[in-house]
Structures are given as structure tokens and as C-alpha cells.
Structure 1
Amino acid sequence: MKNLLLICLLVAGSISLANAQTSEKENINTLLNQWHKAAAEANFDAYFSKMADESIFIGTDPTENWDKQSFMNFSKPYFDKGKAWSFSTLERNIYTTPDCDLAWFDELLDTQMGICRGSGVVSKENGSWKVKHYVLSIEIPNENVDEVTLLKKDFDTALIKKLK
């Protein structure tokens, strides 16, 4: 009888945890959709309110590694012109820690640059999810890697030399 009770408690706890994780994943999905929508609508305040104060945004250019304030400074002229960027999610995977206070994700995006991949980390701060770290990359089909590598060779060589 004790074993049956223990098994029932474990099953109930597992179901409760799974439900909590599903609910939090839905909240994260909503956050990311709203974040991308705010950029598409050039809503500067809405966009940056979804990022943690100490967040990092890494863009597609190797020199684009911004803290939040630097990214705000870079982005403001685009938002002010009413045209930031428009990313539509094609696919998204979200993973959470068991306590649902930290999550990471990857997503394929339809963008003005073609298919891109976003990946990042979100954390729960005062009951709300915030983007802490985001990496945007342009996806290159394997059959085009040699062409792209040749195309960016001079830039890469110069930057490697500078960084060493």
C-alpha cells in the first residue's frame, strides 16, 4: 500500500512538472513572437522591454556583439525610420530547466536575409521572461559553403589578423 501511494505521488508530481514546463514554454513562445513582432512594427520600447538589462545580442556580422545599451544605440535609427527588421518564425524549439526559471531555444526564421537561425537564452525575472542572450546567424546550405567562404575570405583574413 505504501509503495502504491508513493508511485501515485511520483506520477502526480511528474505530471505537474510537465504541465508547468508546457505552460512556461508557451509563455516563452509568446515572448519571442511579441519580441519579433515589435521589431517588425518598429516599436522600440516594446522590443527592448523584452530584453534583460544585461542582455547580449550577437548579429550576423562578426563584429556585432552588443550589450543591450549598445544594441539600442545601434538600432534606434532603424526604429526611428519605422523600419527595423521582420523575422517570421518557421520552427522553434524551447528547453527549460526543471524549475522553469531558465530556458534556451533555437529557431529558424524567414527574414529579409533569407533563412536565418536565432538561438538564445531567456530567464524569468520578477515573474516575467526576458531575453538574456540572442545569436542571429545566416544559414548557408552545405553545398554553398565553399562559395561563401571564398566570398568572405578577405574580410575574415583581415579580422583574424586584427583580433590576433
Structure 2
Amino acid sequence: MTGRRTPHLPSQEAELRTAAPFVPRLGDLAADTAHSGRVGVVVTLPGEDSATTYHLRPPGGGPTWSASADGSTLLPVPAQITHATLLPHRDAVYDPRTRQGSVPVVFHLSDGSTREGALVLAPAELERLHAETGRLLASHEKATGDRA
């Protein structure tokens, strides 16, 4: 990387004002910047039940708090990755120029959605993955009597 900022990077969306504004809906998770980024579930919307602000409650329960009616202090909480699986019908590749291997994967998120990506590995990480995979296969054979 050159260290130069490029306008297409996602981290610059707010700076460029290209991202759609976040308008929380009932049940959404939101981080409240006015409360040190505290995460809560939106339980009341402005104008609902004579509320003049958003009301949020911690995801596990607890006391509610208010956020401004314009939602300017609220940010969306992205779904978290739960696990990754190999992307079917795609081969891993090694790039001699960067001296890295790349394994195509599917990231599974907590909201049920998926995203394609890659596991990028340096030579030492490739060796570790090879050793770990061998260990897993040996455990599988011992447990089932099957050769994979």
C-alpha cells in the first residue's frame, strides 16, 4: 500500500457522505456514541407511544436509556462472523510474487447471511495449517476408523 487514501475504501464512506444514513428500526442493534459506544436494542422509536427519543435496552436486558430523536448518535452494529467454510469448487492459489497462499472461504454471519472472502497465509502459516490439518485427519481416522 502507498499510504495514500483512496476514495473507494469503506472506511471513508462517512467522510465522503456516500453511505446511506442509519435509520434504526424497532429491534435493531445500535451502538450509541453518546454513551461510549454502548450497544443496545432499539425498543421504542421517536413518535411511538408519545416517545420523543429512541429508547435502547442492553441485548441481555437491563435498564433502558434514551438517544436523540434524530438518531445522530446511533450507529449500526454489523453482524458478527460465526465461522468460515471452504468455498466450493474453488482452488487455493499460491502467489509467488507476494509469497502468500490464498484459500477461498465463505464467512457465515450471525444474522444468517454469508460473504465470500479469502484466508491469506504466509509460508509459516501455510506450514502450520498443513500440520493442523494432518492432526485433524489423524484424529478423524482414529475416531471413525475411516481414511478421509
Normalising by the residue count of structure 1, what TM-score does the alignment of the two structures yield?
0.22
Structure number having the greater helix percentage: 1
Structure with higher Rg: it is 2
